Chains A and B, each alone.
Chain A
Amino acid sequence: MKAVCWMGVGKMSVETVPDPEILNRRDAIVRITSTCICGSDLHLYNGFIPTMEQGDIMGHEFMGEVVEVGAGVDRDKLKIGDRVVVPFTIACGNCFFCKRELWSCCDNSNPNYWMAEKLLGSSPSGLFGYTHMIGGYAGGQAQYARVPFADVGPLKIPEGIPDDKVVFLSDIFPTGYFGALNADIKPGDTVAIWGCGPVAQFAIRSAFMLGAERVIAIDRFDYRLRLAEEGGAETINYEQVGDVVEP
């Protein structure tokens, strides 16, 4: 298959690599139909996060069709032919944290936990395509991906919903939603959001979902501000206006 590989700092290339295989009983193989580049892939591209290796397959925001499942996968939860969005955190579903739905803290999914403990104090869950210290799992900027603990994370998508309406459930929509959630928005609130990049676009929409009356979006790029307006926000281009605070 073809896959986007990290080939060194500032070097990415599409390489032909072996197709992924089932390695554990609870693995599945997904044929990828849509995949994304994340802003945090830039940290790897620019070499800010250690323990990448030349040849590592990138990508942690992807979706596709299940084409193979391991013997240990619960068939009531996932079977061949299912369309799924794959969350970027790999969670076992059985540990203390998973039982409390704190998937990103999974105790078991990072085989290189010791590297993360040394650098971060304790280890998060394994992630797709995001350094060896956070699992070393091959990512989803590829034609196929191996998904461990496949009956826990993947979200099944009903037929009739196109990829571009759901692919952002893997990471960026939850990230924006989480930001809005942390702001403890109550119905009727006015919410200001500084910066209108992709995460903010989802934060804007999440703020309305959580009951905000007005969302004021602030940026200096018109194309971002236009997207924010499409999401219902009032916008301010801070390079074009002076003091916006009313006396």
Chain B
Amino acid sequence: MAGGSLTLLGLSRRSASGLALAAAGGALVYAGARTKLPDHFEAASSLLLNCTPEEAFRLWRNFKDLPLFMYRLESVTQIGDGRYRWIAAGPFGSPLRWDAEIVDERQNELIAWRSLPDSEIEVDGYVKFRPAPAGRGTLVIARVLYRPPGGAAARAVAKMLGKDPKFMMRQDLRRFKALIETGEIPTIDGQTHGPRSVATAAMRLADPDRPIRGDAEMREILNAKRRIA
């Protein structure tokens, strides 16, 4: 567990120091990760947006902009025939790639996509936009299912999603909401501060901008040393 946490902490930071930390935990996690991996990971969440379904649909449908609010995605590129190449930040700086096609699309209502059969991992997802009652904006509902084929790829996906896929999706949706409502994503990353303690500095290096898990225990939050700019 210690190795896994260390690896995940390190991986969340896309930098040399983060990778060094990840490497430190890597040896520990390697032995532990070969057993008891789930065969799929589901990330689902929903959120109310103060915008019209049209506006929300337009931002999401422009797939190349998804990495603006899905921080684990590096790029989404159109490769023709309604197909897209997705590249996500995988473990140890190695990208995870898959190609996907749109399988269903209803203007301002729904986009569903599915990875192509020869992808190294299956990634199926949909996003729905529903008008909220009484003109109170739009309900966005998103769900993505990751199904790795096993072996090294499964371990890679497990590491990428290990911080709780549901929470990851919620973070993505919160950023989507902020972006569509305010035009930017609020942050304290990079802001000024006074001298940090050694313990805080270490945690900061390990995990600059993400909690370990969304379902963290109260005690862990009370001791939170994360997301410290």
Contacts and interface: CB of A to CB of B under 8 A. Distances in A.
Interface of A: 1, 3, 5, 7, 13, 15, 17-21, 23-26, 50-51, 53-57, 72, 92-96, 99, 107-115, 118-119, 126, 132-133, 135-138, 146, 148-149
B182 A108 contact: yes
30 contacts: A3-B192, A13-B194, A17-B194, A23-B189, A23-B190, A26-B184, A50-B222, A51-B221, A51-B224, A54-B194, A55-B194, A56-B193, A56-B194, A57-B192, A94-B181, A95-B182, A99-B50, A108-B181, A109-B186, A111-B187, A114-B170, A115-B211, A115-B224, A118-B216, A119-B221, A119-B222, A132-B224, A138-B188, A138-B191, A138-B192
Contacts of A107: 50, 177, 181
A21 to B, nearest CB: 7
B10 to A, nearest CB: 20
Contact of A92 (B137, B182, B196, B229): B182
Given A54-B200, A55-B197, 20 more contacts: A3-B194, A7-B194, A19-B192, A50-B222, A53-B196, A55-B194, A56-B194, A94-B50, A94-B181, A108-B178, A108-B181, A113-B174, A114-B214, A115-B211, A119-B221, A133-B221, A135-B188, A136-B229, A137-B188, A149-B182
B33 interface: no
B218 interface: yes
Contact of B193 (A13, A57, A94, A110): A57
Contacts of A26: 182-184
B48 interface: yes
B195 interface: yes
B58 interface: no
Contacts of B194: 3, 5, 7, 13, 15, 17, 54-57
B60 interface: no
Interface residues of B, number: 39
A159 B175 CA distance: 39
A182 to B, nearest CB: 27
Interface string B156-177: 0000000000010011001001
Majority-rule SS of A interface residues: loop
Nearest to A109: B186
B193 A138 contact: yes
Contact of B221 (A7, A95, A109, A118): A118
Nearest to A56: B193
B225 interface: yes
Contacts of B188: 23, 111, 135-138
Contacts of B197: 53-55
A136 B167 contact: no
B203 to A, nearest CB: 9
Contact of B184 (A25, A53, A132, A138): A25
B34 interface: no
Interface string B63-84: 0000000000000000000000
A13 B136 CA distance: 46
With a 10 A CB-CB cut-off, give which of A24, A53, A56 has the most chain B CB atoms.
A53
Nearest to B211: A114
Contacts of B167: 114
A73 B181 CA distance: 15
A239 B185 CA distance: 54
Contact of A137 (B48, B174, B181, B191): B191
A24 to B, nearest CB: 5
Nearest to B186: A111
B172 to A, nearest CB: 13
Interface in B93-115: none
B217 to A, nearest CB: 9
B202 to A, nearest CB: 12
Nearest to A123: B174
